[in-house]
């Protein structure tokens, strides 16, 4: 029973991790919060749905949803962040909230506010591993999420472009003086954050098999909680934060009561921000 | 006035109060994304008092606002140690905790919501609005108001000239929570029915937007912003389903092209100068 819940928690948590990574990439780079991030997740889920309904094979639909969500994130950067770089930090925050509302409303116009059903695209197989029952969807989700997490981690830590990203988030002006094209770094960061949210969207939709234009709101909040618990700007922290939240959520539902789930999550969020703003693994507090 | 117009005007009054509650906190450069939480506390407290204990509406709303104010102090003391975005996220978390709390709290109806508070009239709402406007008007020309402005513009300089920056910030936070609590009480007794979703994060967000778009450096900005952006969605009704999209687009464009807001302190000073000139002429 406990092991089973642990697997369920990891499956759920790995989608949270993908969202948290996107948050932390942008926040680490610009010290700004992209509230519309949850809605990019929703947009990705709907793109995946549209392509899958059109009969596009699932891996390709996946790729297209990722691409579309990434481009949407670039659009957000262009509209909500770039024109507002030199003004009060509240402006980009608010414009992303407004953009999120816009995206939800447009999605409602295109796909309707009733839950849309995801087509059954994968053969649902169940495997008995000792006491634990694992479905093929669980395996797909955990494999894809972990694969992407390792990929983005290697990219940021080992490649020269990743070094440019880290330099820009550390000291944008110095990085720019050293010849880093900071605008390219910013655009690429937004693209990867959006693409990861898009993947998370399709994966979540596969589990719950139905989606609405408003699923992004809670997912965005949870992603933010996971980011804070992992430490802002800390990639690996965001991954672990997401997994932890997933496990806490599932364990709470299994052993406690589901109606207090969000109080516990947001209470944790509050306690972390106030008493441990550097997160679980952070060492030095950064000025936001 | 038609019932529909009355509804629009009443909610506009509540929105003005919410905008002023954000402005109060923003006047020391702190941002609260949790004012809907204070509003909820004021609303549920006062509604419980009038419905369950039969207290009159005015004292009930004042008590609700005071309870929200106490909560503001409890939240403000730890949160105001933080900076910038962290305060935004912490207050945001606070708002969500309050909302989910009332969603599950049975004595005030839980998920079914709370029925029965009545009695808010337009004069009551606008009495509060006028009182707040008068207060902020007096404040902006007072020593205390100038101290708050100093804290906003440069907290380090403010503390070097002997101002108690922490206390001023906390006081502003308390005031914001108090006004939001009063707005909640008025709202509850106007709507006859409240549920946890009436105090969604979007309520906090809209309140900030009124202030930012109206102009964050003078309380007139908050008032004008709340008026314009309470009426705008109504005038966009002909757009039907695309209404909210257009609204979102207007907000994004406003932020890009006029980030300092509609009303700037310079405008207020000019109007004040103009009025003073007129009065002088009339007197002479």
Contact A27, B81 (CB under 8 A): no
Q: Which residues contact B276 (CB under 8 A, 6 or more apart)?
A: none
Q: Which of B82, B252, B259 sits opposite A274 (nearest CB)?
A: B82
**B89:A273 CB<8 A:** yes
∠ CA A132-A135-A138, nearest 5°, is 95
Six-digit token string for B32: 């609260």
A239 compared with B242, residue with greater pLDDT: A239
d(CA A145, CA A199): 8
Q: Compute the nearest-CA separation of A146 from chain B (Å).
A: 28
Contact A199, A11 (CB under 8 A): no
Contact B195, B202 (CB under 8 A): no
**Residue A281 falls within a domain, yes or no?**
no
Number of domains into which chain B is organized: 1
pTM of the model: 0.83
Closest by CA to B214, choosing from B272, B263, B147, is: B263
Q: Does some domain include residue A40?
A: yes
* Residue whose structure tokens are 């207060």: B135
Q: Indicate the average pLDDT of chain A.
A: 86
Does A196 map to a domain?
A: yes
The total number of structural domains in chain A stands at 1
Within a domain: residue B269? no
Of B81, B83, B252, the CB nearest to A95: B252
Residue in B with minimal Cα distance to A225: B93
**Any chain A CB within 8 A of the CB of B206?**
no
pLDDT at A287 over 50: no
Quick one: pLDDT at residue A21?
93
Instruction: Answer whether B256 sits within 8 Å of A221, measured CB to CB.
Output: no
Q: Is residue A63 part of a domain?
A: yes
Structure tokens at A6: 């642990």
What CA–CA distance (Å, rounded) separates B143 from B132? 18
Q: For B208-211, which contacts have Cβ atoms below 8 Å and span 24 or more sequence positions?
A: B208/A90, B208/A94, B208/B22, B208/B31, B208/B33, B209/A94, B209/A97, B209/A98, B209/B251, B210/B15, B210/B18, B210/B19, B210/B22, B211/B19, B211/B22, B211/B23, B211/B26, B211/B261
The whole-angstrom separation of Cα A180 and Cα A199 is 29
Whether residue B245 and residue A105 make contact (CB cut-off 8 A), yes or no, is: yes
Does residue A98 lie within any of the structural domains?
Answer: yes
User: What is the predicted pLDDT for the residue at A201?
Assistant: 93
- Give residue A120's pLDDT: 66
Please list every residue in chain B whose beta carbon sits closer than 8 Å to the beta carbon of residue A260.
100, 104
Greatest alpha-carbon pair distance for chain A in Å reads 57
Sign of CA dihedral A62, A67, A68, A74: positive
- Give CA–CA dist B115/B191, Å, rounded: 9
Cα–Cα dist B161/A21, whole Å: 43
Q: Residue B170 belongs to what domain range?
A: 3-199
Domain that holds residue A161: 2-275
Provide the pLDDT for residue A74. 96
Kindly give, in sequence order, each residue whose CB lies less than 8 Å from that of residue A286, ignoring residues fewer than 6 positions away: A232, A233, A278
Nearest to A273 among B93, B101, B103 (CB): B93
β-pairing, A116-117 with B193-194?
unpaired
Q: Which residues contact B50 (CB under 8 A, 6 or more apart)?
A: B56, B57, B60, B116, B117, B118, B119, B189
Domain CATH number, residue A200:
1.10.3470
pLDDT of residue A204 exceeding 50, the answer is: yes
ipTM over 0.95: no
pLDDT averages per 10-residue partition of chain B, 284 residues? 87 96 92 94 96 92 97 93 86 88 88 88 94 94 90 87 90 96 96 90 86 87 91 76 71 75 81 82 69
Helix (H, G, I), strand (E, B) or coil at A131: coil
A62-71 pLDDT, tens digit each: 899 999 999 9
Residue A122 binned pLDDT confidence (cut-offs 50, 70, 90): low
Rg (C-alpha) for chain B, rounded Å, is 19
Average pLDDT over residues A52-67: 89
pLDDT at position A286 over 50? no
pLDDT reading at A129 higher than 80? no
Structure tokens at A11: 């499956």
In a domain, A118, yes or no: yes
Q: Is the pLDDT reported for residue A283 higher than 60?
A: no
pLDDT, average across residues A192-200: 95
For B257, the token pair is 């092209």
Q: CA separation (Å) from A73 to A170, A193, A196, B137? A: 22, 7, 10, 43
- Quote the CA–CA distance of B86 and A26 in Å, as a whole number: 15
Are B229 and B223 in contact by the 8 Å Cβ rule? The answer is no
Quote the pLDDT of residue A123: 61
Provide the 3-class DSSP secondary structure of residue B175: helix
Residue A86 lies in a domain: yes
- What pLDDT sits at residue B241? 67
Residue B24, CA distances (Å) to A132, A187, B52 in order: 55, 36, 32
Give the residue from B86, B87, B99, B215 with the most A CB atoms within 10 Å of its CB, the best one to mutate. B86
Are B249 and A102 in contact (CB < 8 Å)? yes
pLDDT value at residue A86: 73
Distance from CA of A93 to the nearest CA of B (A): 9
Give the residue with greater pLDDT, A26 vs A113: A26
What's the pLDDT at B195? Answer: 92
User: For residue A275, what pLDDT band results from cuts at 50, 70 and 90?
Assistant: confident
Residue A91 counted as domain residue: yes
């Amino acid at each position: 029973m406990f092991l089973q819940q642990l697997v369920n928690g990891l499956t759920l948590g790995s989608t949270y991790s993908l969202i948290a990574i996107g948050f932390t990439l942008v926040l680490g780079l610009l010290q700004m919060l992209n509230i519309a991030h949850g809605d990019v997740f929703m947009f990705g889920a709907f793109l995946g749905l549209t392509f899958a309904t059109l009969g596009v094979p699932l891996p390709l639909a996946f790729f297209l949803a990722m691409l579309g969500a990434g481009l949407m994130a670039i659009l957000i950067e262009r509209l909500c962040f770039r024109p507002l770089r030199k003004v009060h930090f509240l402006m980009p925050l608010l414009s992303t909230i407004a953009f999120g509302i816009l995206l939800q409303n447009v999605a409602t116009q295109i796909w309707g506010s009733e839950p849309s059903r995801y087509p059954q695209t994968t053969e649902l197989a169940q495997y008995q591993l000792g006491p634990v029952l694992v479905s093929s969807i669980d395996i797909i989700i955990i494999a894809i999420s972990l694969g992407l997490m390792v990929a983005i981690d290697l990219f940021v830590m080992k490649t020269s472009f990743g070094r440019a990203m880290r330099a820009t988030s550390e000291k944008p002006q110095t990085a720019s003086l050293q010849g880093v094209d900071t605008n390219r770094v910013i655009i690429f960061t937004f693209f990867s954050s959006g693409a990861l949210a898009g993947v998370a969207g399709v994966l979540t939709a596969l589990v719950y098999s139905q989606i609405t234009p408003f699923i992004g709101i809670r997912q965005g909040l949870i992603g933010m909680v996971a980011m804070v618990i992992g430490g802002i700007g800390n990639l690996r922290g965001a991954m672990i934060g997401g997994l932890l939240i997933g496990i806490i959520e599932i364990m709470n539902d299994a052993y406690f009561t589901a109606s207090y789930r969000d109080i516990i999550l947001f209470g944790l969020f509050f306690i972390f921000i106030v008493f441990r703003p550097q997160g679980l693994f952070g060492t030095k507090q950064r000025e936001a | 006035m038609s019932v529909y117009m009355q509804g629009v005007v009443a909610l506009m009054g509540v929105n003005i109060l919410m905008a002023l509650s954000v402005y109060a906190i923003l006047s020391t450069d702190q941002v609260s994304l949790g004012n809907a939480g204070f509003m909820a506390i004021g609303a549920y407290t006062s509604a419980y008092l009038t419905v369950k204990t039969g207290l009159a509406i005015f004292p009930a709303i004042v008590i609700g606002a005071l309870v929200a104010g106490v909560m503001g102090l409890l939240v403000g003391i730890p949160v105001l140690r933080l900076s910038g975005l962290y305060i935004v996220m912490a207050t945001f978390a606070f708002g969500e905790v309050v909302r989910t709390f009332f969603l599950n709290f049975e004595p005030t109806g839980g998920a079914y919501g709370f029925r029965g508070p009545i009695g808010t009239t337009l004069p009551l709402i606008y009495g509060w609005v006028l009182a707040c406007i008068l207060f902020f008007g007096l404040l902006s020309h007072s020593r205390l108001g100038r101290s708050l402005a100093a804290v906003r513009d440069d907290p380090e300089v403010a503390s070097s000239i002997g101002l108690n920056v922490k206390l001023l910030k906390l006081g502003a936070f308390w005031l914001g929570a108090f006004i939001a609590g009063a707005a909640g009480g008025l709202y509850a007794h106007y709507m006859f029915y409240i549920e946890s979703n009436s105090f969604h994060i979007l309520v906090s967000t809209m309140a900030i937007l009124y202030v930012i778009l109206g102009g964050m450096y003078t309380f007139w900005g908050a008032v004008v912003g709340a008026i314009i952006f309470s009426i705008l969605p109504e005038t966009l009704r002909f757009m039907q389903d695309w209404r909210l999209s257009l609204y979102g687009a207007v907000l994004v464009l406003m932020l890009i092209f006029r980030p300092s807001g509609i009303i700037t302190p310079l405008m207020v000073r000019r109007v004040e100068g103009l009025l003073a000139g007129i009065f002088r002429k009339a007197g002479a």
